[in-house]
Structure 1
Amino acid sequence: VDMCDSDFGNGKMKEPSEAGRACTSWYEQLVQPCLLELLGSALFIFIGCMSVIENVPDMGLLQPALAHGLALSLIISTLGNISGGHFNPAVSLAAMLSGGLTLMMLLPYWICQLLGGLLGAALAKVVSPEERFWNATGAAFVTVQKQGQVMGALVAEIILTMLTLAVGLGTTTNEKTTFSPTPFCVGLSVTMAILAGGAVSGACMNPARAFGPAVMANYWGFHWIYWLGPLLASLLVGLLFRFVTGDGKTHLILKGQ
C-alpha cells in the first residue's frame, strides 16, 4: 500500500496511484536524504566527540583518527546510497559544484548537517563524565592557541580537506576513476588526514564537526578556521573537477558525450 494512499487499511492491495507515486517520490528525493544527512552527521559527530573526550593520553592521535575514519566508513556504507553520504557541508558544496548535488538541496543539507552536529555533540556531553568532557573542552578544536599558528592551521585545513574531497568525488563522480569501496577510501583518507595534520590544525575538515562541540562547550577560539578552510577547499576541488580531473560529462569545457 502506498504510504501516501488515503485509502489505507481497507484490506485490499492495489497498484499505487499516480498521486501516490508522486508523493513517495517527493519523500524519497527530498525529505529522506535530508533526514539521513541529519542522522548520519549526528552519529559521526557523536562517535568523533566521544573518541576525543575518552581518548587515552598514550594513544595520541591514533584513537580519534581511527574512530573518525571507521565511523565515517560504516555510516557512508549504510546511508550513502540514499543521501550520498556527505555528513559535511564542505562535501555537499563540492558535490554541488561538481554536479553531484542540486543547488536546491544544498541549503537543506547544510541545515541538517549542522543540526546533526549539534545533536551528536549534545549526546556526547550527556553520556560523558563531566570532568572528562570539560578536560577535553567538549571535543571542540583547541589546537590553535596563538595568532602565529593561524596561517599554518588554515593551510593545513585546506590541503587536508582537499585530499578527502578529492578521494570522495574521485571514487563516485568521475566515471573514469569510479571505485566501489568508496566508504573505505573516504574513511581511510580521514584517518590519514587526522594522523598527519591533527597536531597542526586538529584536522577538522568539517564545519559541522566543529560547530556542534563549539556550541556545547561554548568554545569559539579561532573557530572561523574550521569554516573557511574546508569551504575554500570545496571551491578549489569543485573547480578542479570541472576543469581538470573530471570526465567529459563533468567538464564545463571540452564536454564529452
Structure 2
Amino acid sequence: MADEKMEMGEVGASLMSSDVKPPPAKPTNRFDRVFQPCLGELVGTTFFVFIGCVSVIENVESTGRLQPALVHGLAIAALVACMAEISGSHFNPPFTLAIYLCGGMQLNMVAPYLACQLLGGVLGAAMAKAMTSRENFIKAHGAAFTVLQPDAEIGGALFGEVAMTCLITMVLLLGAFNAKTKNPMVPFMVGGTVILTILAGGDVSGTCMNPARAFGPAVVSNYWTYHWIYWVGPIAGGVVAAALVRLLLGDKKMRIILK
C-alpha cells in the first residue's frame, strides 16, 4: 500500500507541475490574419461615416453641435467595443499610423487598413446620400466640412485638427497599447473624447480628426474646399501623439529612450 501511495503521489505531483504546458494553439488561417481584419475596418468605417454624415445632414439646428457630437462619440464607442477583437477598431488613418509607430501592428497591414478605411468613408457617405433628402444633402454639402470660409481661419483650423487628433490618439494609445495605463474602458474613453472635442472645436474646423471621415463626403458631394487641412492636421496630430508615447509617456517597454 505504501508503494501504491508513493506512485499515486508521484502522478499527482506530475499533473500539478508547472512543466506541464497546454498544447500550442493552432495557427490562424489567412482569412483570420488578413482578410477579416480588413473587412472589419471596411465595415466599421463605413457605418461610422454613414451615421456621422446623417447626424450632420439631418442636424436639428436647435441642438447646435450637441447632436453630431453625441452621435459621432456614441457610434465610435459602440463600433470600437464590438470590432476590437477583429481588427483593433482603428477606423481612422492617423490611428493606424500611430499604432504602427508604437509597435502595435505589422507594416504589411498598414496599406490594406488605410485603403479599407478610405473606401469605407466613400461607402458611408454614399449611404448617407441615399438616405437623406436631396435638399438637406446639398445644404450640408453631403456632410463634407464647410465650416471654413475666409483664408484667415486656416491657421486656427489646422492647429485645431493637429491638437485634437493628438489628444484622441494619445487616449487610444495609452488606453489600449501601453501596459502601464491599459484600460478596458478604452472604447468609451475614445468615444467620450470624440464628444468633447467636437463640442469644443466644432465651430473652428468641424473637428474631423479623421481623413476617411473627410474623404468620403468630399468624393460623394465633390466638395474639396480646404480639404487638405483634414489630411495634414490629423496625420500630424497622430504622429505627435505617437512620438509623445514612444519618447515620454509610455512604459519601459513602449519607450525607445530614457529606459
TM-score (normalised: structure 2): 0.89
Question: By how many angstroms is 1:81 displaced?
Answer: 1.5
Q: Which runs of 5+ in 1 are unaligned?
A: 1-20
Q: Which amino acid aligns with 1:218?
A: N
In structure 1, which of residues 209, 213, 218 is the aligned counterpart of residue 213 of structure 2? Answer: 209
Kindly provide the amino acid, as one letter, of the partner of residue 51 in structure 1: S
Q: Deviations over 1:90-132 (max 9, x none)?
A: 1001101111121111111000000000000000001111111
1:253 Cα offset (Å): 2.2
| Superposition deviation, residue 251 in structure 1 | 1.3
- 1:122 corresponds in structure 2 to 126
Q: Quote the Cα distance in structure 2 between the aligned partners of 1:58 and 1:150.
A: 27
Query: What is the RMSD computed on CA atoms of the aligned residues?
Result: 1.0
Q: CA deviation at 1:252?
A: 1.4
Separation in structure 1 between the aligned mates of residue 109 and residue 83 of structure 2, nearest angstrom: 17
Q: Separation in 2 of the partners of 1:146 and 1:108?
A: 36
Match of 2:90 among 46, 67, 86: 86
Is 1:244 aligned to residue 256 of structure 2?
no
Match of 2:22 in 1: none
C-alpha separation in 2, matches of 1:173 and 1:179: 9
Whether 2:102 is the aligned partner of 1:98: answer yes
- Equivalent in the alignment of 1:183: 187
Could you give the per-residue CA deviations for residues 2-60 of structure 1, whole angstroms, max 9, x where no partner exists? xxxxxxxxxxxxxxxxxxx65x5221111110110000000000000000001001110
2:84 and 2:135 map into 1 onto residues whose CA distance is 36
Q: Which amino acid aligns with 1:199?
A: D
Letter in 1 for 2:176: T
Question: What corresponds to 1:154 in structure 2?
Answer: 158
Task: Provide TM-score, normalisation by structure 1.
Answer: 0.89
Deviations 1:167-189 (A, max 9, x none): 11110111111111111000000
State the distance in 1 between where 2:76 and 2:157 align. Answer: 23
User: Aligned partner of 2:87: which letter?
Assistant: S
Q: Which amino acid aligns with 1:208?
A: A
**Aligned position for 2:72:** 68
Name the structure where helix makes up a greater proportion of residues.
2
Displacement of 1:254 after TM fit?
A: 4.1
The partner residue of 1:218 within 206, 217, 222 is 222
Q: Aligned partners of 1:212, 1:175: CA distance in 2, in Å?
A: 34
On the 8 A contact 2:170/2:242 being kept in 1, the answer is: no
Alignment partner, residue 42 of structure 1: 46
| Structure 2: stretches of 5+ with no match in the other structure | 1-25
Identity of aligned residues (%): 51
Which digits, 9 at most, give the CA deviation of each residue in 1:187-206, with x for residues without a partner? 00000000000000000000
- The letter for the 1-side match of 2:158 is L
- 1:13 corresponds in structure 2 to none
**Are residues 1:194 and 2:226 paired?**
no
Q: CA deviation at 1:234?
A: 1.3
Distance 1:149 1:185 in 2: 30
Aligned length: 234
Residue 205 of structure 2 aligns to a residue whose secondary structure is coil
Higher Cα Rg, which structure: 2
Distance 1:116 1:253 in 2: 37
- What CA distance in whole angstroms lies between the structure 1 residues aligned with 2:240 and 2:72? 24
Please identify runs of 4+ aligned residues in structure 1 that moved more than 6 A. none
- Alignment-mate amino acid for residue 168 of structure 1: L
Inter-partner Cα distance in structure 2 for 1:101 and 1:51? 32
